[in-house]
Amino acid sequence: MRLTRLLNELKSDGFLRKPIAVDLNTLVILDGHHRFNSLKQLGCDIIPTYLFDYSMPEIVVYTRNDMQKITKEDVIRAGTTGNKLPPRSSKHMVWLKFDKLVHISHLEKNIDIPLERMKTYINHSRHASLR
């Protein structure tokens, strides 16, 4: 449901507003799985990311389900082995100065990149005319 809604929103807007949050060391997606999957379905080969050093103590992971505990190691293991965690099971938060806790997406600035710029095309007739 959420993926379909986001896919339709991206098609309608024609722009990616926020990049994907990715761990610098492992390239595991921390935030933006739905955006990533939507962009892939739309034929985007280039997906803008913000790289975060997930090992920093300022970045913490919380579970959205009080009955379950998820660690950073669980997140990395899930991302590197393909044994995905359930959708929306974790949220990544960052401690800022003065003990302010914010979601990792608050550190990502809007980028407003047209979807067409994220697609790679090989137009053989155009290349042929350049020779």
**77 pLDDT more than 50:** yes
pLDDT tens column, 116-130: 999 986 544 444 444
Exposure of 13 in the CB half-sphere (CA atoms within 13 A)? 15
- Judged by phi (left if over 0) then psi (alpha if -120 to 50, else beta), residue 85 lies in beta
**C-beta of residue 24 within 8 angstroms of C-beta of residue 51:** yes
Backbone angles phi, psi at 67, to 5 degrees: -85, -10
Report the length, in residues, of the chain. 131
pLDDT tens column, 79-100: 999 888 887 788 999 999 888 9
- The dihedral through the CA atoms of 48, 54, 56, 60 has a sign that is positive
**C-beta of residue 35 within 8 angstroms of C-beta of residue 20:** yes
**58 pLDDT more than 70:** yes
**C-beta of residue 12 within 8 angstroms of C-beta of residue 38:** no
2-129, what's its fold?
3.90.1530
Predicted local distance difference test score (pLDDT) of residue 121: 67
